[in-house]
Structures are given as structure tokens and as C-alpha cells.
């Protein structure tokens, strides 16, 4: 599981221009105006490991942006400098895994998504230096909830296309759609209701989470389940960095959203989770229409969806710092651990390929693809200055028949 980005403002520290109330500052951060009145625009996107990357035009250049229903708008220092954007406020924000940092808040005069114009967009200056994984998804930043709430967006992951329109009646694929009420909080976070094991829970609809179901520790611990797996090492990734913590996976007896009952699902949880989340994984089951203008979510079931009969993993993950590639996560009592792999082992090669000299994103993309495959993985590791060869096979975490 990876939680990518949800920027939550806890409180504002310094106003660099003039004294403003917290309410006024929050309104500034959430600002965005839609210029077009009548429109229907098709936008192709990349689905990169569960994160949806859309083209965004700022100034005279196109950038790759993460489409995130639960995040604030962001931009890099390069974009700020290139477009001579002002540093209007310095604020402290907290991210989904509760790490905080001080950042600059600015306003972008204009952006274009396809041919649709948005003006006066409040945005946070994030370069993601503490989270290099995020730079492998975007060279611009995040298109967030203050923009998304201004229009109707239909996300079709199978076709890798988003339809952006002013009028929901222009859309297809709505005849048998399930309508779910959406409640927007004061920061425009979209919350919906769903049932786990017949218990109604509130979820943040957050496409900044590349998985399907993630829970708070309180909910996860009290969730009835016959099977549970603990993952030790590095936990959730956010714009402010990574926390070291255990994460847990549990099987679900049932998951119901609207009139749809999805079988054979699992949920992740950890101590740092602020909210229960439904992430972009929902688009594997539905064409998703975001109509936050009318505070509703429409879910059109995808026919012939392949049923999940098992969830497989090699039982480890990798990361890289300035010095080494290392084992960043281990599933306890699972394939990798049983093969002899340990947390923080230094990895020299994967399948005889030297991964120590490539760029971070080349390393990241390569390892993600390898871990998505089914072939056994051969690792050469170094532990206490001794080289070892370890082969890890992919195995079922749970049998979900």
C-alpha cells in the first residue's frame, strides 16, 4: 500500500503579506475559479501504479500532474520561478501520515486542463524532496479538490480517459449508476458512506491513495477478520516524507457501497492513518463520476470485472537512499522472510541487474514492475559485509475463494 498525498492544514503560522484570519487563509488555499460555462472535454491520462496522471498547462508549458480528489493543489519551485509567482504566505501543513512541514502558499493566475480554463488557483509550493517516489509520478504537482469540485469529472480507468463537463446530463454510462451522497467539509474533502462487514463507516474519497480500502487503526483493529498480515518497516508515503511503522492487511467479510456488494476485498490500516480511505482502486470496479457540484458520486458497475480470487505478493519492498538500495518492508512470516530476507538488507542486484547506479525513478519503476510480475526474483544482498543470494517466490497472502 502507498498513501500518496493528502495535505491537511492544521494551522497557519506566518502570513507574509498581511494579517488574515484562519478562515480567510483557508479560503485562499481553497480558491479556484472555472472560466468556461459550457464544455465537454475528453482528457487521456496515464494510470501509473494506481495514480492518475493528467496533462496540465501552466504558463507556456505542459506538466504531468497527479489527479487527487483528497489533496490540495501544488506546484514546484521551478514553476513558481518560471512564472514569477509571489510567495504570499508561509504555512505549516500536515500530511496523511501526520508529518508536518512549513511551505509557501501562492496563487496561480491561470491553468488549462485540456481546453478548460481555471483562474486564481490557490496552490502550495511542494518540491517533494523528502519523497522522491512522488517525483517519479509528476513534474508539476497535484490537481486537487478545489479545482475538481467546480465541474463534473467522469473517470473511466479501462479506457484511461477522464471526461470533464459542466453538465452531468451530457455524460454516457449513467443508466445503471449507483448514486452516493457526498459531503464536502470546509476544505472540500469529499466524504462518503460504505459498509464493511455490515457496519456503516465514513470514508474520504481520495484518489491520492493508489489502493482501494485503507482504514484508521481504531477501525482496523476492531475489524472482524479470519486472516491478518503485518508489514514491518517503512509505512505510508506523503509529501513530507515516510514514517516507519507497522501496517496491517485484513480480509473483509463484505464491502458494500450503495447497492453494490464487492466480494473478496482486503483492507490496510496503520497507526498514522487519519481517515478511512477509498482510493483510486475503486475504478477497477466502477466508472466513477464525480459530481461534487451537486454533492454526489455516481458509480457505474463495470461488467465482466475479473473477480479477485487471491492476493499475491513477494512479501517485501525496496527503497533507495543516497548510499544504498535496501529492503524497506517485510511481510512477517511470509515468502521473503521465509527465504531469509531481512529488513534493511542492502540489495546489490535484482535478477543479476545492477540497480545501484540508475536514477531514482529508473530504479523505482523497474522494481515496481518486477514486484508486479509473477516470476521468482533473485536478489544479491549484502549483510554485515557478506554477499548472499536469495530467491523469493510470489505467494498468496490470503486465499479469497
CATH code matching the domain that covers 7-164, chosen among 1.10.10.10, 2.40.100.10, 2.40.50.140, 2.40.70.10: 2.40.70.10
User: What is the distance between the alpha carbons of residues 398 and 392, in angstroms, rounded to a whole number?
Assistant: 17
H-helix segments, 279-359: 335-339
Q: Are 276 and 203 in contact (CB under 8 A)?
A: yes
* pLDDT grade for 102, boundaries at 50, 70 and 90: confident
Question: For 256-314, how does the pLDDT look when each residue is reduced to its tens digit (9 = 90+)?
Answer: 999 999 988 999 999 988 899 999 999 999 999 999 999 999 999 997 555 544 588 99
Per-range mean pLDDT, top range of 93-97, 171-175, 234-238 = 171-175
Q: Are 76 and 127 in contact (CB under 8 A)?
A: yes
More confident site: 358 or 86: 86
Fold of the CATH domain 312-399? Pdz3 Domain (2.30.42)
Question: For 357-391, how does the pLDDT look when each residue is reduced to its tens digit (9 = 90+)?
Answer: 889 999 999 999 999 999 999 999 999 999 999 99
> What are 391's three cell numbers?
530467491
Q: Give CATH 2.30.42.10 domain extents, the chain.
A: 312-399
DSSP secondary structure string, 237-269? Answer: EETTEEEE--EEEEE-S-EEETTEEE-S-EEEE
Task: Look at residue 25 in the predicted model and tell me its pLDDT.
Answer: 77
Task: Look at residue 238 in the predicted model and tell me its pLDDT.
Answer: 65
CATH of domain 169-301: 2.40.70.10
Q: Are 139 and 76 in contact (CB under 8 A)?
A: yes
Question: For 207-230, how does the pLDDT look when each residue is reduced to its tens digit (9 = 90+)?
Answer: 999 999 999 999 999 998 878 999
The structure's pTM equals 0.91
**H/E/C letters for each residue in 339-395?**
HCCCCCCEEEEECCEECCCCCHHHHHHHHHHHHHCCCCEEEEEEECCEEEEEEECCE
Q: Give CATH 2.40.70.10 domain extents, the chain.
A: 7-164, 169-301
Query: Considering all CA atoms of the chain, what is the largest pairwise distance in Å, rounded to the nearest integer?
Result: 66
Amino acid at each position: 500500500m502507498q498513501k500518496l498525498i493528502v495535505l491537511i492544514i492544521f494551522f497557519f503560522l506566518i502570513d507574509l503579506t498581511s494579517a488574515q484570519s484562519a478562515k480567510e487563509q483557508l479560503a485562499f488555499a481553497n480558491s479556484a475559479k472555472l472560466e468556461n460555462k459550457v464544455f465537454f472535454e475528453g482528457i487521456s491520462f496515464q494510470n501509473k501504479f494506481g495514480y492518475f496522471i493528467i496533462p496540465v498547462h501552466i504558463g507556456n508549458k505542459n506538466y504531468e500532474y497527479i489527479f487527487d480528489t483528497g489533496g490540495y493543489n501544488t506546484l514546484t519551485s521551478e514553476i513558481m520561478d518560471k512564472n514569477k509567482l509571489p510567495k504570499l504566505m508561509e504555512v505549516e501543513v500536515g500530511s496523511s501520515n501526520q508529518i508536518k512541514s512549513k511551505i509557501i502558499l501562492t496563487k496561480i493566475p491561470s491553468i488549462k486542463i485540456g481546453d478548460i480554463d481555471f483562474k486564481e488557483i490557490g496552490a502550495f509550493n511542494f518540491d517533494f524532496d523528502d519523497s522522491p517516489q512522488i517525483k517519479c509520478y509528476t513534474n508539476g504537482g497535484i490537481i486537487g479538490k478545489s479545482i475538481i469540485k467546480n465541474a463534473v469529472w467522469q473517470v473511466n480507468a479501462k479506457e484511461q480517459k477522464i471526461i470533464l463537463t459542466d453538465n452531468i446530463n451530457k455524460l454516457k454510462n449513467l443508466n445503471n449508476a449507483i448514486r452516493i451522497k457526498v459531503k464536502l467539509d470546509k476544505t472540500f474533502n469529499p466524504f462518503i458512506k460504505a459498509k464493511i462487514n455490515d457496519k456503516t463507516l465514513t470514508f474520504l474519497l481520495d484518489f491520492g491513495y493508489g489502493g482501494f480500502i485503507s482504514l484508521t487503526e481504531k477501525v482496523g483493529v476492531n475489524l472482524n477478520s479470519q486472516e491478518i498480515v503485518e508489514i514491518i518497516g517503512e509505512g505510508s508515503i506523503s509529501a513530507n516524507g515516510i514514517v516507519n511503522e507497522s501496517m496491517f492487511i485484513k480480509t473483509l467479510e463484505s464491502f458494500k457501497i450503495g447497492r453494490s456488494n464487492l466480494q473478496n476485498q482486503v483492507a490496510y490500516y496503520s497507526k498514522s492513518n487519519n481517515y478511512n480511505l477509498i482510493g483510486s482502486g475503486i475504478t477497477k470496479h466502477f466508472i466513477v463520476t464525480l459530481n461534487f457540484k451537486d454533492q454526489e458520486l455516481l458509480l457505474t458497475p463495470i461488467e465482466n470485472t475479473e473477480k479477485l480470487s487471491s492476493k499475491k505478493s513477494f512479501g517485501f519492498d525496496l527503497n533507495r537512499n543516497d548510499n544504498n538500495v535496501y529492503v524497506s518492508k517485510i511481510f512477517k512470516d511470509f515468502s521473503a522472510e521465509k527465504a531469509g530476507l531481512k529488513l534493511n538488507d542492502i540489495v546489490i542486484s535484482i535478477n543479476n541487474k545492477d540497480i545501484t547506479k540508475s536514477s531514482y525513478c529508473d530504479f523505482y519503476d523497474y522494481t515496481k514492475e518486477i514486484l508486479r510480475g509473477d516470476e521468482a526474483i533473485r536478489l544479491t544482498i549484502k549483510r554485515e559485509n557478506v554477499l548472499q543470494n536469495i530467491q523469493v517466490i510470489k505467494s498468496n497472502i490470503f486465499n479469497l475463494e
